[in-house]
């Protein structure tokens, strides 16, 4: 158990104050010991994973930060299916790479996403037409209310767009230990996303070709973490793509055209969502609200490659990020009447800050 550890180095943004206590757990028993330590001392507990999807306050965290680093990948292939089990501390892209090499379909479009396995069910990780909720069969977790380690089915996780039981109704209750995925042996690669459809132009690519294509696309949008690339010092997509009604979508389209004129670039892209609603790219809204790629204020700015990534230009504080994100959020709402909700977890902030930027779960980021 370490004391007064700076959390910035454990995050992809490189921002964050110290935590009172810090420990890294590489086994279930070590996780249980750490949780008992926090319980017996009545300390708040934050579960940290790869650190790629969170913002930690400048004042840090006045409790115990538990980094769940449980290793191990096992793959059981039988018939047309394969069961892939991975510890919460396994790097997610390593899992995807292993599965693609074995011709196991279902997560190839999730290539290049930073972070660890433990965070995938929490935020229902998704990209380029795939979500982990489609392939997660079981989540092994510690229930802090009952003190038991339990296995949760896909249905019990209550997955929705970028959310689950773990970051909504049961926030802070469960600590993810292991995740099991059900993939298709020899299955076809998914090319449902427009970027991929255009690239492959109707042909059926291999899983490896789709993985390579997704990683190249992500790199071009500064969504692939690369050592030494200052444009990648971010928390990934800072805002979720809003899901709106048809009426709201029509309003967005009308406002865009009236402000920018006719043409494809002023016609909002749309993607189907649940309950007959429409998903609109947050990056499109941000740029049409007047915030171009590379726009910055002091040490924080938008990526030069993608308007959805807020980048630490060097020396930025959490307060700087909040101010900049608030400017973007207010600008989009003033222009289109749509409130953007933050995707990263907010750690060590007041309830008012978390309420302002919307629901974001702190477990397993």
Residue 207: per-residue pLDDT: 96
Rounded Cα–Cα distance for residues 126 and 110 (Å): 6
CA 1 to chain centre: 28
Structural domains for the chain: 2-68 (3.30.43.10), 73-220 (3.30.465.10), 239-341 (3.90.78.10)
Global pTM reads 0.85
Average pLDDT in the chain: 91
Rounded Cα–Cα distance for residues 233 and 9 (Å): 11
Residue 359: per-residue pLDDT: 57
What percentage of the chain has pLDDT greater than the value 90?
A: 74
Beta strand 300-302 with 296-297 is antiparallel
Residue 78: per-residue pLDDT: 86
What percentage of the chain has pLDDT greater than the value 70?
A: 94
Furthest C-alpha separation in the chain? 63
**pLDDT at residue 267 is higher than 90:** no
Residue 271: per-residue pLDDT: 86
pLDDT band with cut points at 50, 70 and 90 for residue 363: very low
Residue 259: per-residue pLDDT: 64
- pLDDT tens profile 301-333: 999 888 999 999 999 999 999 999 999 999 999
The catalytic site residues sit at 162, 237, 343
- pLDDT tens profile 196-219: 988 898 789 999 999 999 999 988
**pLDDT at residue 15 is higher than 50:** yes
Q: What is the DSSP letter of 16?
A: -
**pLDDT at residue 193 is higher than 90:** no
pLDDT band with cut points at 50, 70 and 90 for residue 364: very low
Beta strand 61-68 with 136-143 is unpaired
The terminus-to-terminus CA distance of the chain in angstroms comes to: 20
Q: Do residues 118 and 126 make contact, with C-beta atoms less than 8 angstroms apart?
A: no
- pLDDT tens profile 207-257: 999 999 999 998 887 777 766 676 778 888 899 999 999 999 999 999 988
Rounded Cα–Cα distance for residues 283 and 244 (Å): 15
**pLDDT at residue 48 is higher than 80:** yes
- pLDDT tens profile 268-304: 898 888 778 999 999 999 999 999 999 999 999 999 8
- If DSSP codes are grouped into helix, strand and coil, which group holds residue 259? helix
CA dist 347 to 17, 56, 98, 289, 360, Å? 10, 5, 32, 28, 10
**pLDDT at residue 355 is higher than 80:** yes
- pLDDT tens profile 22-44: 999 999 999 999 999 999 999 99
- pLDDT tens profile 69-122: 999 999 999 889 999 999 999 999 999 999 999 999 999 999 999 889 999 999
């Amino acid at each position: 158990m370490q004391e007064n550890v700076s959390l910035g180095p454990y995050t992809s943004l490189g921002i964050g104050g110290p935590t009172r206590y810090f420990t890294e757990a590489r086994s279930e028993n070590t996780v249980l010991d750490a949780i008992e330590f926090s319980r017996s001392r009545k300390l708040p507990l934050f579960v940290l994973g790869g650190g790629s999807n969170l913002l930690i306050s400048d004042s840090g965290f006045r409790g115990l930060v538990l980094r769940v680093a449980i290793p191990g990948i096992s793959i059981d292939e039988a018939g047309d299916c394969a069961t892939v089990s991975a510890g919460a501390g396994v790097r997610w892209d390593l899992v995807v790479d292993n599965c693609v090499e074995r011709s196991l379909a279902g997560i190839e479009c999730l290539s290049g996403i930073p972070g660890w396995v433990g965070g995938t069910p929490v935020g229902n990780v998704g990209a380029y037409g795939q979500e982990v909720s489609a392939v997660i069969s079981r989540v092994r977790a510690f229930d802090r209310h009952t003190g038991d380690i339990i296995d949760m089915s896909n249905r019990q996780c209550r997955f929705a767009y970028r959310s689950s039981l773990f970051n909504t109704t049961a926030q802070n209750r469960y600590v993810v230990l292991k995740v099991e995925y059900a993939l298709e042996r020899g299955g076809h690669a998914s090319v449902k996303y427009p970027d991929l459809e255009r690239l492959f132009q109707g042909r059926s690519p291999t899983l490896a070709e789709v993985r390579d294509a997704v990683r190249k696309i992500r790199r071009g949008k500064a969504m692939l973490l690369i050592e030494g690339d200052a444009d990648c010092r971010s928390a990934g997509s800072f805002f979720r793509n809003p899901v709106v009604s048809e009426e709201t979508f029509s309003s967005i389209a009308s406002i865009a055209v009236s402000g920018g004129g006719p043409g494809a670039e002023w016609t909002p892209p749309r993607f189907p969502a649940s309950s007959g609603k429409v998903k609109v790219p947050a990056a499109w809204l941000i740029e049409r609200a007047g915030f171009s790629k590379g726009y910055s204020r002091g040490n924080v700015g938008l990526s030069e490659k993608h308007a959805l990534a807020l980048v630490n230009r060097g020396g930025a504080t959490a307060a700087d990020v909040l101010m900049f994100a608030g400017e973007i959020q207010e600008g989009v709402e003033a222009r289109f009447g749509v409130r953007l909700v933050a995707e990263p977890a907010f750690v060590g902030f007041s309830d008012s800050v978390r309420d302002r930027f919307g629901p974001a779960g702190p477990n397993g980021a």
